[in-house]
């Protein structure tokens, strides 16, 4: 069985600052994928960034990057130069082995303030 | 621009009514999913489908039912709505490799009074 844990229910960051959201996971599989999804208030959930487990290089998408620590089973999301539009729920998710369903964490609510 | 569409966006309905939440995607994805999102925003998988005429129950027991007669269409039905069904319902789909994750619809916020 796979599990995803997000230990920060809520976080706050000032505009233009950097914030890191934590995620740990557990799987016995060697082949897996990790994702961060963003759900703005009353809007569609969208994919922010993905990481393939066999790639050691951390994924980066513009202001969003991850710190993938495979041995520690940690997959944190760093948002640089935070913007008001980054205010959202952020979900960490895992696809592992032959499972065809994503396993989601409980989410972190991020508030970006002026 | 969304390639997966959910209607209605908001629905307020009385107890005992039958309702169908619509979900359609234009991407030709085989796999489709329904999630229930509670007030704390946690996601619970309630139904999924691997293709036409394939439906499975998810991790969270639900009184709803689904059908998959066409690849692009995955409606969810509640035969008799109750206040406990009040929630947000998210539809998602996946095509191709797992590494691409899901594409989500905008959701239906259901309130049963």
Residue-level pLDDT, tens digit, chain B, 113 residues = 558 999 999 999 999 999 999 999 999 999 999 999 988 888 999 999 999 999 999 988 889 999 999 999 999 999 999 999 999 999 999 987 777 789 999 999 999 99
Residues of B in contact with A101 (CB under 8 A): 33, 45, 48, 58
Contact between B41 and A109 (Cβ < 8 Å): yes
Residues of A in contact with B104 (CB under 8 A): 37, 44-46
Cβ contact, residue pair B48, A89, below 8 Å:
no
Question: Terminal CA-to-CA distance of chain A, rounded, Å?
Answer: 41
DSSP string, B15-64: TT--EEEEEEESS--SEEEEEEE-TT--EEEEEEEEETTEEEE-SS--S-
Window B:92-111, CB contacts with A under 8 Å? 92, 94, 98-107
Instruction: State yes or no: cis peptide before B8, omega within 30 of 0.
Output: yes
| Portion 29-68 of B in contact with A at CB < 8 A | 31, 33, 40-43, 45, 48, 50, 58
Return the residue of B nearest to A32 by Cα. Answer: B99
pLDDT of B2:
54
Tens of pLDDT along chain A (114 residues) come to 889 999 999 999 999 999 999 999 999 988 899 999 999 988 899 999 999 999 889 999 999 999 999 999 999 999 999 999 999 999 999 998 777 788 999 999 999 999
List chain B residues with CB under 8 Å of A10. Answer: none
Q: State the SS3 of B64-88.
A: CEECCCECCECCEEECCCCHHHCEE
């Amino acid at each position: 069985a796979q599990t995803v844990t997000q230990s920060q229910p809520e976080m706050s960051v000032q505009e233009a600052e950097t914030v890191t959201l934590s995620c740990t996971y557990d799987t016995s599989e060697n082949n897996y994928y990790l994702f961060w999804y963003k759900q703005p208030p009353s809007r569609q959930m969208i994919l922010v960034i993905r990481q393939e487990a066999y790639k050691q290089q951390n994924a980066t998408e513009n202001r969003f990057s991850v710190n993938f620590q495979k041995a520690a089973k940690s997959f944190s999301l760093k948002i640089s130069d935070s913007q008001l539009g980054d205010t959202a729920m952020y979900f960490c998710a895992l696809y592992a082995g032959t499972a065809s369903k994503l396993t989601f964490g409980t989410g972190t609510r991020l508030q970006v303030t002026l | 621009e969304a390639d997966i569409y959910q209607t209605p966006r908001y629905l307020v309905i009385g107890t005992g009514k039958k309702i169908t939440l619509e979900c359609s995607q234009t991407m030709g994805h085989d796999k489709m999913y329904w999630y229930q999102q509670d007030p704390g925003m946690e996601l619970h998988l309630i139904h999924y489908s691997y293709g036409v005429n394939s439906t499975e129950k998810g991790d969270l027991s639900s009184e709803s039912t689904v059908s998959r007669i066409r690849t692009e269409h995955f409606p969810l039905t509640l035969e008799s709505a109750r206040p406990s069904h009040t929630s947000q319902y998210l539809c998602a789909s996946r095509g191709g490799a797992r590494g691409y994750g899901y594409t989500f619809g905008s959701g239906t916020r259901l309130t049963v009074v």
